A and B are shown apart, each in its own frame.
Chain A
Amino acid sequence: MDTTAPLVELDEQGLAALVDALRQRGYTVIGPTVRDGAIVLAELASAEDLPHGWGVETEAGTYRLRRREDRAAFAHSAGPQSWKTFLHPPRARLWQADRSEDGTVAVREDDEPPPRYAFLGVRPCDLRAIAVQDRVLTGGAYTDPVYGPRRAGAFLVVAECTEPGGVCFCASMGTGPGLPDGSAHDLALTETVEPDGLHYLARAGSPEGADILAELPTRTTDGARARAAVADAAGRMGRSMDATDLRSLMAGTMTAERWDQVAGRCLTCGNCTMVCPTCFCTTTEEVTDLTGDHAERWRRWDSCFDLDFSHVHGTGPVRSSARSRYRQWLTHKLGTWHDQFGSSGCVGCGRCIAWCPVGIDITEEVDALRAEAAAPEG
């Protein structure tokens, strides 16, 4: 983008105009909104649906909404959902098949056009998570038929983070709270609360983003307050993770005693995998109707914590102990993800910490594994 152009910002009416402009362009606008005692991601009819004046408090095993003293719309850290709910939905039909009387089977792919999403308020950590899933689901030899088209059509409006939560550690992972250079997106906003109302520093990240920004009522700004707010946020992370060479640390932990310790707490419920914005695992279900001549192949999220996940006929589950399943999750996320997909699988969003029913903390586990690896033998 043109870096010599003057910086511009929107006010609250400008943000409302952005939602309207996206809807007028045919996008289904998805963003944060308050529902069921949490800030969830759902369709926004207008900017009024944003969680104005709501913040959250997060800790290990804890998530609570709290009222703010201002009207900020993006002053909250991650909720239970991530954008994978929309790009890589929990359940998706892959195809349908019909058998005719002569035994011939016609397999039919869904030919409905994919939903066109505009995501409003994508945190830099979650933007990285989308990039991570891009590599997994579209970066190899095959393009995922559900994720690929949804992702290709998505318009991403980033909201830089100015209010990190108690479980956040994106700063230590290099994924936030500001937008890292070179991150693919369409528009980036930075919200600041000022005496005359909400300000949104706005920068285009794509030609379409520039087109839309040009339609909106903007005024010039020096962007100083927005930059300061993001810089300040980097110093207020509730947690941090020492990311130094996690790949080899993880590779060396196969016989670590810490896995037994964490297995004593882990319920193997899989919550961490459901809320993780990069966890991508799925299983398939074959569904037939009463005639037996109509079949559908559905795919749904699966979890490596499920005992059946690694089932091999004749020998049963490869990973039958809780120890091995937690070890699989963590060493994959932080270690072997590099081998398989060329990046880490962790973006530092902290969801797995907040939504673990027993409060297992990934940053604490890494510290313990690092300490065990550094301890003298015996």
Chain B
Amino acid sequence: MSAVHATTPVPYRVLARRRETADSVTLDLVPAAVPLRAFRPGQYAMLYPFGTGEIPVSTSGISGHTLGHTVRAVGKVSEALCRAERGDWIGVRGPYGTAWGTPPAGSDVLVVAGGIGLAPLRPLIVETLDRVGEFGTVSVLTGYRDPGGQLFLDDLPGWRSRADVLVTVDRPEPGWRGATGLVTGLLDTVGFRPGHCAAYLCGPEVMMRAAARELRRRGVPAERIQVSLERNMRCATGWCGHCQLGPVLVCRDGPVFGWDRAEHLLSTPEL
């Protein structure tokens, strides 16, 4: 049966499951019958593991009709998704929301991620690296609480061959030889032209605010800085009201916003 209503999940199956960290997994989902419309990097799906509920999850991989979703177990539904096994049924709705704006040809590309925030950025990184010759420098800066939180370790060798990929952690463990401290501290270690740069930020709001301010200070235009915001969402279709953020509905007008809009939205406490 094909879904008629926007609220009805479409059947998908788990094609593959990869454990990323102690509390997160990546699921590759394939349509059980009719695929949803194509997703663009930055957009999200509503995922429904049978009998639990539904949550919004950005795509971390887009390959033909196969959707990658990286999920951290933080609640009942995300825990059920993390427990899903190959072959399991997952209901999917989407694609929803705004996509990352494509970097202009010739610009430097700067990706700044905090923790699981790297997941919504992964399809953008993959697309950018596929066309790496069209851009200047490509840099991927990631910050994690501890080394065990690192995502997509299998991707890193391939990414490093075409981009500067730097990792920092807040709490180093014995044997950690990488950087420590905030991800904004890595901005000094990579080369990008502030006036010819497209920056993509995703992570905790405090991290995105700090990184965006630092980039603005260096002269990156606000509209060239994009962020992905997170709010409670029940419907994804603009009806439930939970994702209200001042003048915008994050489900519909986001999750990706230019910093020219987002700065104001994130500067009002409890908006």
Binding site for B on A (CB under 8 A): 94-95, 97, 99, 103-109, 136-137, 140-145, 251, 254, 280-284, 286, 288, 292, 295, 297, 302, 304, 309-315, 318-321, 323-324, 327-328, 331-332, 335-336, 339-340
> How far apart are the CA atoms of A293 and B206 in the complex, in Å?
42
| Contact across chains for B1 and A107 when beta carbons are under 8 A apart | yes
A127 → B minimal CB distance (Å): 21
> How far apart are the CA atoms of A339 and B74 in the complex, in Å?
33
Which chain A residue lies CB-closest to B268? A254
Known: A142-B237, A313-B74. A288 touches B51 (CB 8 A): yes
Residues of A contacting B: mostly: mixed
Which residue of the partner chain, among B50, B237, B242, contacts A99 with CB atoms under 8 Å? Answer: B50
Which residue of the partner chain, among B7, B51, B247, B252, contacts A336 with CB atoms under 8 Å? Answer: B247
| Contact across chains for B5 and A312 when beta carbons are under 8 A apart | no
**Chain B residues with Cβ under 8 A from A136's Cβ?**
238-239
| Contact across chains for B239 and A302 when beta carbons are under 8 A apart | no
**Chain B residues with Cβ under 8 A from A292's Cβ?**
51
B87 at the binding interface (Cβ < 8 Å): yes
| Contact across chains for A340 and B239 when beta carbons are under 8 A apart | no
| Contact across chains for A104 and B247 when beta carbons are under 8 A apart | no
Binding site for A on B (CB under 8 A): 1, 3-9, 11, 32, 50-54, 74-75, 78, 87-89, 91, 204, 230-232, 234-235, 237-242, 244, 246-249, 252, 268-271
12 extra interchain contacts, Cβ-Cβ under 8 A, other than A282-B234, A340-B249? A95-B5, A97-B9, A104-B32, A140-B238, A251-B247, A280-B241, A282-B241, A288-B51, A295-B51, A304-B241, A310-B244, A324-B270
Which residue of the partner chain, among A283, A324, A340, contacts B242 with CB atoms under 8 Å? Answer: A283
The listed residue with most A CB atoms (<10 A of its CB), out of B8, B50, B75, B241, is: B241
A-B contacts, 6 listed (Cβ < 8 Å): A97-B51, A104-B89, A108-B1, A297-B7, A324-B270, A340-B249
Residues of B contacting A: mostly: loop
| Contact across chains for A107 and B232 when beta carbons are under 8 A apart | no
**Chain A residues with Cβ under 8 A from B91's Cβ?**
97, 105, 107
Which chain A residue lies CB-closest to B115? A314
> How far apart are the CA atoms of A321 and B240 in the complex, in Å?
21
Which residue of the partner chain, among A140, A314, A320, contacts B237 with CB atoms under 8 Å? Answer: A140
| Contact across chains for B51 and A321 when beta carbons are under 8 A apart | no
| Contact across chains for B239 and A282 when beta carbons are under 8 A apart | yes
Which chain B residue lies CB-closest to A148? B5
**Chain B residues with Cβ under 8 A from A280's Cβ?**
239, 241
B206 → A minimal CB distance (Å): 10
Known: A105-B89, A144-B239. A319 touches B54 (CB 8 A): no
Known: A141-B237, A319-B270. A94 touches B231 (CB 8 A): no
> How far apart are the CA atoms of A340 and B254 in the complex, in Å?
12
Which residue of the partner chain, among B3, B240, B247, contacts A281 with CB atoms under 8 Å? Answer: B240
The listed residue with most B CB atoms (<10 A of its CB), out of A106, A292, A297, A318, is: A318
**Chain A residues with Cβ under 8 A from B248's Cβ?**
339-340
Which residue of the partner chain, among B53, B88, B235, contacts A103 with CB atoms under 8 Å? Answer: B88
| Contact across chains for A312 and B230 when beta carbons are under 8 A apart | yes
> How far apart are the CA atoms of A324 and B151 in the complex, in Å?
36
Which chain B residue lies CB-closest to A281? B241
Which chain B residue lies CB-closest to A88? B239
**Chain B residues with Cβ under 8 A from A327's Cβ?**
270
**Chain B residues with Cβ under 8 A from A314's Cβ?**
74, 204
**Chain B residues with Cβ under 8 A from A297's Cβ?**
7, 54
A95 → B minimal CB distance (Å): 5
Known: A313-B74, A339-B248. A103 touches B87 (CB 8 A): yes
Which chain B residue lies CB-closest to A255? B268
| Contact across chains for B53 and A310 when beta carbons are under 8 A apart | no
Which chain B residue lies CB-closest to A100? B89
> How far apart are the CA atoms of A95 and B6 in the complex, in Å?
11
> How far apart are the CA atoms of A362 and B186 in the complex, in Å?
50
| Contact across chains for B11 and A105 when beta carbons are under 8 A apart | yes
B143 → A minimal CB distance (Å): 15
